[in-house]
């Protein structure tokens, strides 16, 4: 006897956000708002310091800077002032 469909069913894992191949710093610098949004959805640290001592907001302008700020983004100088 073959019982098809009997037993427990497994629900698929919900998709998790994946950061793009470009770094959040480069995305901010190049004005790539979609890549920045992907990083934010994936939980990338908005205050990560790059090799030049900069955060993404240090490299961003306009709408991207505003978006990063709304997600807690700070400049390297602000972090330094806070002792971080």
pLDDT, tens digit (0-9, with 9 covering 90-100), for 3-61: 565 555 555 555 567 778 999 999 999 999 999 999 999 999 999 999 999 999 999 99
Domain with 35 in it: 24-81
User: Is residue 5 assigned to a domain?
Assistant: no
Q: What is the CATH number of the domain that holds 58?
A: 1.25.40.20
DSSP of 21-49, one letter per residue? Answer: SS-HHHHHHHT-HHHHHHHHHHT--TT--
pTM reported for the whole predicted model: 0.77
Number of domains the chain is built from = 1
User: Is residue 19 assigned to a domain?
Assistant: no
């Amino acid at each position: 006897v073959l019982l098809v469909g009997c037993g427990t069913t497994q629900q698929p894992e919900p998709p998790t956000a994946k950061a793009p191949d470009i770094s959040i710093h480069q995305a901010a610098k190049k004005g790539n708002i979609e890549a920045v949004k992907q990083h934010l959805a994936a939980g990338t640290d908005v205050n990560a310091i790059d090799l030049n001592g900069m955060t993404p907001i240090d490299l961003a302008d306009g709408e991207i800077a505003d978006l990063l700020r709304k997600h807690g983004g700070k400049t390297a100088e602000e972090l330094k002032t806070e002792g971080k």
